[in-house]
Structure 1
Amino acid sequence: MTARPVLAATDGSPQSLAAVRWAAQEAVRRGAALRLVHVWPQPVGVYLEQLQAEGAALLADVQQQVVAEHPELEVDTVLLGASPVPGLVDAAADGQLLVLGSRGLGGFTGLLMGSVSLTVAGRSPIPVVVLRPGGQDVDGTPTSAKGDVVVGVGAGDAAEEVLEFAFSRAAERGARVIAVYGWDVPAVWAGPGAIATPFDSGLLRSAAEQHLAEALDPWRQKYPQVPVEARAEVGGAAKALVDASGDADIVVIGRRIRRHAAGGHLGAVAHAALHHAQAPVAVVPHA
């Protein structure tokens, strides 16, 4: 098998096992191998060999479960002694997709998720899929039966990597693409004694719909077998994505690659989708 593998990070938790099962299904669809990754911190002292042994045993057990469910799937394992974020980001360089589970931080279920998942999604060189807590059953069965692929289209030039990811996933699943573009009516302000001219909301909506249509046209032509629904929604991009996620199999958003000392990070729309979307969220890096 020559294609780069699909990677799944696991620590043995129910959330990570759901991510493994989701990743296994995705690897089968792509005709790729699955690589299970377990990262453990390197301590000083007597616990080193114990953690190595426990990590290896964990990977062997999860690998056995996956092979039992998907005997046709090639599955290998990687045990890394490193901090979780740099370890997973380094491992991602050898794969085509990284799948992570996530946990709420307690007290605000559905509003907070693990910092490791967020940071890796903001730095990974390849697309990262994050399964939200409660967005998928522990046995890996998607909670949505419709299989829509929801993709966010930004106000600037449409990122080819993001739309390619969304349309190719829809083609693999026999699903439709729901492309959403969120826009807001600009606030009107005028000084004392001045008369503010209100914006024409109808004109703004028409411009939003035209922008979305132009962004999607090349992909409709490249993937004529994929049904497409375009939604230009007032209320902002984050709200439009979250609202559309209820019937989705996956939500696809972009992340601009930033090359500076602080490293990559996620914008407000990505944060909102990762915290509130009702389906797994794919974060796709693009130039």
Structure 2
Amino acid sequence: MVPTDPEPAGGTAMNRPVLAAIDTPERSGAAAHWAAAEALRRGAPLRLLHAWPNSGNGDQLLLADLREAARRMLDGLADELRAAHPGVEVATSVVAGAAVDALLRAATECELLVLGTRGLGGFHGLLVGSVSLSTVGRCDTPVVLVRAEMPPNPRAAQHAVPRDAVPEVVVGLDPQVPAGPVLDFAFEEAARRGAPVHVVHGWETPPTYNYGYAAGWVPSQEDRRLLETLATRLVSDALAPWREKYPQVLVVEDVRAGGAAGALVDAAGEAALFVVGRRDRSLGVGPRLGPVAHAVIHHAPAPVAVVPHA
């Protein structure tokens, strides 16, 4: 199987908002600015949402004061975003209830959900909390995770991309798994930015039983070249429909030996955005993230988009 064909152009509702989850300006400020810039790129409004766990118990006057403080916080952040991103349309809302449930409900009406994460910086990894992991694992809408340490003003630094480099949209691809929505998302983001798409595939030596080799077989250099040639051909064939749909987007094919997660993180040098897929699993409980998506959102230094697919 290969990635499904791209959706026809114009298949999404461009007036659906970008949703940014706000905890505090310090924790969510970078995500809010990223979401505002993304809303402008999409020609969409931006919605800021703060969820607070109101069980209905406790001092009602105190709860009312906390709710009003949250409203003031969102209003102040909205004014900051309007000043930093002229033309962006910002709405705010404060909802009561568990954060994950509130975000999942709100995301059904939005094109994109943006969450802030607490990062350690560089390649040391991200401290992705349980709310973010649970939301990413269950959300039917694409979710973007943005490190809190990123400069809040996108003009100050282009997501740590070197000044003389062209920011890329980096996407992981397994050409034998149908993941059309993931490639659709990556190519759309690249087209909006005027950026290249850096497609990364990490190939590994197949299990010996598939090829009848004896246990302990070590592939020769010629065998490895043949496997890499096959992997390169599969990637090129899988990308052909998207090259045709997006002729203006430069595509960089990057086929590497090794695991997919390591290949993606190693390709991070000029990334403005990572795009990974999440399989829609109907069984099991808790976050449903595969090992590649899980590794990338913890270790990638740039924002990471997690796109659900069948």
Q: Could you state the TM-score of these two structures normalised by the residue count of structure 2?
A: 0.84
Alpha-carbon separation, structure 2, partners of 1:184 and 1:109: 25
Query: Which residue number in structure 2 is paired with residue 180 of structure 1?
Result: 200
Give 2:245's match in structure 1, choosing from 222, 227, 230.
222
User: Judging changes above 3 Å, is the alpha-carbon distance between structure 1 residues 10 and 122 closer, same or farther for their aligned structure 2 residues?
Assistant: same
Task: State the 1:211 CA deviation.
Answer: 1.2
User: Judging changes above 3 Å, is the alpha-carbon distance between structure 1 residues 118 and 64 closer, same or farther for their aligned structure 2 residues?
Assistant: same
Alpha-carbon separation, structure 1, partners of 2:283 and 2:206: 32
Query: Which residue number in structure 2 is paired with residue 260 of structure 1?
Result: 283
Q: Is residue 2:139 matched to residue 1:124?
A: yes
**Gap runs ≥5 in structure 2:** 1-12
Alpha-carbon separation, structure 1, partners of 2:231 and 2:135: 32
Query: Which residue number in structure 2 is paired with residue 250 of structure 1?
Result: 273
Task: State the 1:133 CA deviation.
Answer: 4.8
Query: Which residue number in structure 2 is paired with residue 20 of structure 1?
Result: 32
1:1-287 map, 5 Å: 3-43=15-55, 44-46=57-59, 47-104=62-119, 110-134=125-149, 136-140=150-154, 141=157, 142-144=159-161, 145=163, 146-186=166-206, 197-199=217-219, 200-260=223-283, 262=285, 264-287=287-310
User: Judging changes above 3 Å, is the alpha-carbon distance between structure 1 residues 109 and 83 closer, same or farther for their aligned structure 2 residues?
Assistant: farther
Specify the SS of the correspondent of 2:50: strand
Alpha-carbon separation, structure 2, partners of 1:250 and 1:104: 16
Q: Deviations over 1:135-161 (max 9, x none)?
A: x22434422252100000025234110
Task: State the 1:15 CA deviation.
Answer: 3.3
RMSD of aligned residue pairs (Cα, Å) = 2.3
User: Judging changes above 3 Å, is the alpha-carbon distance between structure 1 residues 188 and 256 closer, same or farther for their aligned structure 2 residues?
Assistant: closer
User: Judging changes above 3 Å, is the alpha-carbon distance between structure 1 residues 234 and 25 closer, same or farther for their aligned structure 2 residues?
Assistant: same
User: Judging changes above 3 Å, is the alpha-carbon distance between structure 1 residues 55 and 225 closer, same or farther for their aligned structure 2 residues?
Assistant: same
- Contact conserved, 2:169 with 2:271, CA < 8 A, in 1? yes
Q: Deviations over 1:57-106 (max 9, x none)?
A: 1111111111222331111112111111111111111100011110149x
- Contact conserved, 1:33 with 1:73, CA < 8 A, in 2? yes
Q: Deviations over 1:154-201 (max 9, x none)?
A: 252341100010011111101000000011224769xxxx78544321
- Contact conserved, 1:104 with 1:110, CA < 8 A, in 2? yes
Greater CA drift, 39-48 or 18-27: 39-48
Task: State the 1:249 CA deviation.
Answer: 0.5
Q: Which 4+ runs in 1 deviate beyond 6 A?
A: none
User: Judging changes above 3 Å, is the alpha-carbon distance between structure 1 residues 213 and 158 closer, same or farther for their aligned structure 2 residues?
Assistant: farther
Specify the SS of the correspondent of 1:78: strand
- Percentage of pairs with the same residue: 47
- Contact conserved, 1:246 with 1:279, CA < 8 A, in 2? no
Alpha-carbon separation, structure 2, partners of 1:162 and 1:195: 36
Specify the SS of the correspondent of 1:103: strand
Greater CA drift, 161-170 or 37-46: 37-46
Greater CA drift, 86-95 or 112-121: 112-121
Alpha-carbon separation, structure 2, partners of 1:133 and 1:235: 30
Alpha-carbon separation, structure 2, partners of 1:55 and 1:275: 29
Specify the SS of the correspondent of 1:102: strand
**Gap runs ≥5 in structure 1:** none
Q: Deviations over 1:19-42 (max 9, x none)?
A: 000000000011000000111111
Alpha-carbon separation, structure 2, partners of 1:93 and 1:236: 33
Specify the SS of the correspondent of 1:94: coil
- Contact conserved, 1:182 with 1:232, CA < 8 A, in 2? yes
- Contact conserved, 1:152 with 1:237, CA < 8 A, in 2? yes
Specify the SS of the correspondent of 2:127: coil
Q: Could you state the TM-score of these two structures normalised by the residue count of structure 1?
A: 0.91
Task: State the 1:217 CA deviation.
Answer: 0.7
